[in-house]
Structure formats: C-alpha cells, structure tokens
Structure 1
Amino acid sequence: MTQTNKNIFFALMFLAMAGWGASWVNAKVLSAYMNEYELIFFRNIFTLITLAPVLMFTRKYFYINFRSIILAIITAVIMIVYLKCYFLGTKYGTASLGGALVTTLIPINTFLLMALFFGKKIQRKDIFALCIGAIGVLTMLNVWSFSAEQILAKQNLYFLAGSILWPILTIISSKVTKTSPLVFTFYMYLFMTIIVSIFFVEFKEINYSSYDYIFWINILSLAVISTTFATSIYFIGIEKLGTNEVSSFIFLVPLFAIIFSVIFLKEHISFSIIIGTILTLFAVKILNNIIIFKKKEVVV
C-alpha cells in the first residue's frame, strides 16, 4: 500500500472510530423510543442490508463453514446480552461514562481472561499496567467519593458486565477459521436478528408512529456508520495494515464518545472521568505494546 493510500485509509479509520464513539450517543437517544430488543432488531436489519453489498464488493461473499456457523450462533447469543447491557447502561447512565469505561476496559479484561484461562504470560510491565488500569477504572466510577449507592449504581454494573462480555465474544470469535471476519460478523448479526425476532420482539406493540426524524437519523447512524462502515474499515485495516498499525486508533473511541456526549447530549463530563480515561488508556498502551508515534527513519 502506497503512502497516499495509507493516508486515505488512516482518515477512514479516524472516521470509523468517530462512528464507534458516536454509537454511545445514538443508543442514549434511541432509549427514549424503544427497548433493547427492538434496538437490536432495527439496527441489525439495516446493518445486514448495508453489509451485504460490502461483502460482494470486497469479494468475501457469503461462504461460511459449519464450525463458524456454530460459533456465530454462540456469539450471537452473547452479543444480545452485551447489547442489553450496552443499551440499559446508556439508558440509565451517561453515554460519556459508558463510552469511556467500556471501551477502555475491554482490552484490559481481554488480557486478564487470556492470562487466567489461556496461559498468557504476565510480565512486570503488565502488572504495572493492570494496577494503573484498575486505578483508572476506580476513578471513572468515582469510588473515591466512598458512596456505595453511586459506585454500585445499576448503570455502572451494566457497563462493567458489558466490558466482560465483549472480551468473551472476541475470544470465541478468534476461534473462527477459514471464514472472513466480515462474513462471520454478517452471520452473527443474522442469527441475532432471528433470535430476537422469535423470542423477544413484540412487533404488534411497536409504536411506529413515534419514530420521527431524530429516531431515523440515530438508528441509521448506529447501523450504517457505527456498525457497517466502522466494522468494515476496521477489519479491512487489519487485513491490509496489520493489527498493530490499526490498534492504536482504538484510543480515539472514548475521546469521541466524550466529545459527542457533550455536543449532542449536553452531558457534564466530570474530572474523574477524564483522569480515569487517561489512566486506563495508558494501561492499554502498555499491555498491548501499542506504539502511537513511530520514530521516522533517518536516511544518511
């Protein structure tokens, strides 16, 4: 990939991370219109419609083996539970806290699960990073106020649960073989849609007349921009540039979540959220050996 193409792709990655950050704001707005299962259904329908052409354009098509189908069904169930936590957390809490807390905790929890159950070695730098991350999370939850009611608020518990469910989903997804990540994602959304349609969504009770332009802007943003576009760019980026090159962009997600929450929801961002986010991002950087600014080679 030429440097010009790289720069274009970096710009697309920047927009993709903005989309992921905006998804927390979208969920907060949509919580006034629907429940969590209706959100999953509508988001997934538009995601499937827009993701199918992407698979055709990138020549991934729809091939999936039997093993991947089973894993797609399992991850679909986990994803439904994750999205329930994601939706209820933003409904009762703030999009800024959710976007900062969950997105920074996910890589930390993934590292811990890999260490506990898959024998990943923990080095001294990792212990230091985990301690920093723990302080950051506790700061975001404002434990220093010593208010049990505030610390154990249901939105915090939903966010913490979500930050554990996503790493489990990621680990299971990593077991997929001989199937494109985009194709696997398509089938996961397909199975999610089928499950919620059969067991959880009461279509006759949906108040379609309440869906105004604000609803449609947010549901389409959540499905098309935050899911189809952002997910496609992320997976293509890993394929073209490598995981290490792309992983540093994840640092932008909590930043965008906080910025968009202030702009569109008029949320007040506490000092504890800012400090906690910085600490946890620093921990993620150490744990994953992420290099944000690379030294330029000097040609003699």
Structure 2
Amino acid sequence: MEEQNKKIFYILMFVAMIGWGASWVHAKVLSVYINEYELIFLRNIFTIVTMVPVLIVSKKYFHITFKGIFLSFITAIVMILYLKYYFLGTKFGTASLGGAFVTTLIPINTFLIMALFFGKKIQKKDIFALLLGAIGVLTILNVWTLSYDEIFTEHNVYFIFASILWPIITILSSKATKTSPLVFSFYMYLFMTILVLLFFVDYQHINYKSFDGIFWLNILSLAIVSTTFATSVYFIGIEKLGTNEVSSFIFLVPFSAITLSIVFLKEEVHLSIFIGTVLTLVAVKILNNIRFFRKKYVEKLS
C-alpha cells in the first residue's frame, strides 16, 4: 500500500476504533427502549443491508465454503450470548466500565484459552504480562475499596461472561480459513437475525411508537458505523497492512468508550479505571508482541 493511501487508511482505522468504543454508549442509550434480543434484531437488519454493497464493491461477494457456513452458524449462537451479556452489563452497569473492562480483558482471555486448550506456549514475559493484566483488571473493578458483594455485582458478572465469550468467537471464526472474514461476518449476522426471530423476538410487537430521533440516531450509528464500517475497515486493514500493525489500533477502543461515556452519558469515571486500563493494555501489548512503530520509523528516529 502506498504511503499516502496508508495515511488515509490510518485515519479510517482511527474512526473505526472510535466507532467500536462508541458501541458501549449506544447500547446504554438503547437499553431504555429495547431489550437485548430486539437490539440484536434491529442492529443486524441495518448491518446486513449495509454490508451487501461492501461485499460487492470489495469483490468478496457471498462465496462461502460448507465449513464456513457451519462455523458461522455456531459463531452466531455464541455471538447472541455475547451481545446479551454485553447489553445487560451495560444496561445495569456503566458504558465506561464495560468499554474498559471487557475490551482489555478479551485479549488476555484469548491468550489464556489458547494456552489452556490449544497448546500455546507460555514464556516468562507472558507470566509477567498475565500478572500485570490481573492487577490492571482488579484496578479497573476497584477491588481495593469494595466488598465481595460489590465486586461480584450483576453487571460485573455479565461483563466477565462477555469477555470469555468473545475469544470463543475469535477462535471459531479463525477456523474458516478459506472464507473472507467479511463474508463470514455477513452470514454470522444473517444466522443471528434468523435465530432471534425464531426464538426470542416477535417483530410485530416491538414498541416502534417509542422510537424517537435519539433511538434512530443510536441504532443506525451502532449498525452502520460501529459494526459495518468498523468491521469492514478492520478486516480490510488486516489484509492490506497486516495483523500486527492493525492490532495496535485496538488500544484506542477502551479510551474512546471511556471518553464518550463521560461526554454523552455524563458518567463519573474513577481514576482507577484509567490506571487499570493502562496496566491491562501494557499487558496485552506484551502478550501479543504488538509494536506501535514500524521498523523503518524506528530507524528514522535513531
């Protein structure tokens, strides 16, 4: 990719990560209007519609293997569970806590699952990183000043479940090696929509009359910006720039979630969340060998 195009793509990646962080704010606002399954249904409808032109323009189209179809169906079931706990945690807790806690804990849980069940080797630096991550997570939850019951509140348990389910989604989707991630995501959203319609949502009885301008602004932004746009840019970025370079942008997500929660939801964010988030992100950086600067940029500075 040419340097000028890279700069443009970096801007797009920045916006995409802000969009992912904003999803926690959207979920908090939308929890006043709809339940978790209605959120999945309505978000997915707009996501599916907007993903179609993306697949056509990017020439990914809709080709998928039988294995990809099977995995996308299984992943859809896990994704429904993830979004359920993500939504309930945000509804009863705060968007800032969810955005910081879940997004920083996910890569750590992914590493642990890979180590426990898939034979990933744990080095000395990984042990240090895991301990640092544990301290960071405990600091985000502010366990130093809370009682046992306060730590394991309903919303914290929901966030923990969400942070365990997402690594499973990542591992399942990674097994569809002969299918484009964008195409895989499209079928996953399609299966999710069908499943929630069959078992959890009666679309005719959704209280559409309660939907005002604030609702539509948030559901459309959640579907188009936080899902279709952000997901598309992220996966295309991996293809064009590589996983390591794109992964560094993930560090923007928790801070954007915290900042947007303060600005739009007027949430009071304790210093412990900021400190814990920084500690946990440092742990994630060590675990995944993420570099913020490419080699040639480092050479220019030396």
Could you tell me which residue of structure 2 aligns to residue 258 of structure 1? 258
Separation in structure 2 between the aligned mates of residue 163 and residue 178 of structure 1, nearest angstrom: 27
Separation in structure 2 between the aligned mates of residue 299 and residue 279 of structure 1, nearest angstrom: 26
Could you tell me which residue of structure 1 aligns to residue 80 of structure 2? 80
Could you tell me which residue of structure 1 aligns to residue 191 of structure 2? 191
- Displacement of 1:269 after TM fit? 0.5
Could you tell me which residue of structure 2 aligns to residue 14 of structure 1? 14
Matches within 5 A, 1:117-136: 117-136=117-136
Could you tell me which residue of structure 2 aligns to residue 96 of structure 1? 96
Separation in structure 2 between the aligned mates of residue 83 and residue 16 of structure 1, nearest angstrom: 19
- Displacement of 1:178 after TM fit? 1.3
Could you tell me which residue of structure 2 aligns to residue 223 of structure 1? 223
Could you tell me which residue of structure 1 aligns to residue 244 of structure 2? 244
Q: Any idea what SS the aligned residue of 1:296 has? A: helix
Could you tell me which residue of structure 2 aligns to residue 267 of structure 1? 267
Alpha-carbon deviations, 1:171-221, whole Å to 9, x = none?
A: 111100211000000000000000000100022321111000000000000
Matches within 5 A, 1:16-35: 16-35=16-35
Q: Any idea what SS the aligned residue of 1:297 has? A: helix
Could you tell me which residue of structure 1 aligns to residue 200 of structure 2? 200
Separation in structure 1 between the aligned mates of residue 56 and residue 30 of structure 2, nearest angstrom: 30
Separation in structure 2 between the aligned mates of residue 29 and residue 217 of structure 1, nearest angstrom: 10
Could you tell me which residue of structure 2 aligns to residue 106 of structure 1? 106
- Displacement of 1:253 after TM fit? 0.1
Separation in structure 2 between the aligned mates of residue 204 and residue 82 of structure 1, nearest angstrom: 25
Could you tell me which residue of structure 2 aligns to residue 296 of structure 1? 298
Q: Any idea what SS the aligned residue of 2:61 has? A: coil
Separation in structure 1 between the aligned mates of residue 177 and residue 133 of structure 2, nearest angstrom: 32
Matched, 1:169 2:172: no
For structure 1, list consecutive stretches of 5 or more residues without a partner in the other structure: none
Separation in structure 2 between the aligned mates of residue 204 and residue 169 of structure 1, nearest angstrom: 30
Alpha-carbon deviations, 1:113-148, whole Å to 9, x = none?
A: 000001100000000000000001011111111412
Separation in structure 1 between the aligned mates of residue 300 and residue 266 of structure 2, nearest angstrom: 46
- Displacement of 1:261 after TM fit? 0.1
| CA distance 1:255–1:298, shift in 2 (3 Å) | closer
Amino acid in the other structure paired with 1:163: S
Separation in structure 2 between the aligned mates of residue 109 and residue 67 of structure 1, nearest angstrom: 26
For structure 2, list consecutive stretches of 5 or more residues without a partner in the other structure: none
Percent of matched pairs sharing the same residue:
70
Amino acid in the other structure paired with 1:62: F
Could you tell me which residue of structure 2 aligns to residue 232 of structure 1? 232
TM-score (norm 1): 0.98
Q: Any idea what SS the aligned residue of 2:215 has? A: helix
| CA distance 1:298–1:227, shift in 2 (3 Å) | closer
- Displacement of 1:298 after TM fit? 4.2
Q: Any idea what SS the aligned residue of 1:245 has? A: helix
- Displacement of 1:271 after TM fit? 1.1
Separation in structure 2 between the aligned mates of residue 204 and residue 212 of structure 1, nearest angstrom: 18
- Displacement of 1:292 after TM fit? 1.2
Separation in structure 1 between the aligned mates of residue 156 and residue 141 of structure 2, nearest angstrom: 7
Amino acid in the other structure paired with 1:288: N
| CA distance 1:136–1:61, shift in 2 (3 Å) | same
Per mean C-alpha deviation after superposition, the further-off stretch among 203-212 and 113-122 is 203-212
Q: How many residues align?
A: 300
- Displacement of 1:299 after TM fit? 10
Could you tell me which residue of structure 1 aligns to residue 3 of structure 2? 3
Alpha-carbon deviations, 1:63-93, whole Å to 9, x = none?
A: 1111110100000000000000000000000
Q: Any idea what SS the aligned residue of 1:125 has? A: helix
Amino acid in the other structure paired with 1:130: L
Matched, 1:160 2:160: yes
Could you tell me which residue of structure 2 aligns to residue 276 of structure 1? 276
Separation in structure 2 between the aligned mates of residue 136 and residue 254 of structure 1, nearest angstrom: 13
TM-score (norm 2): 0.98
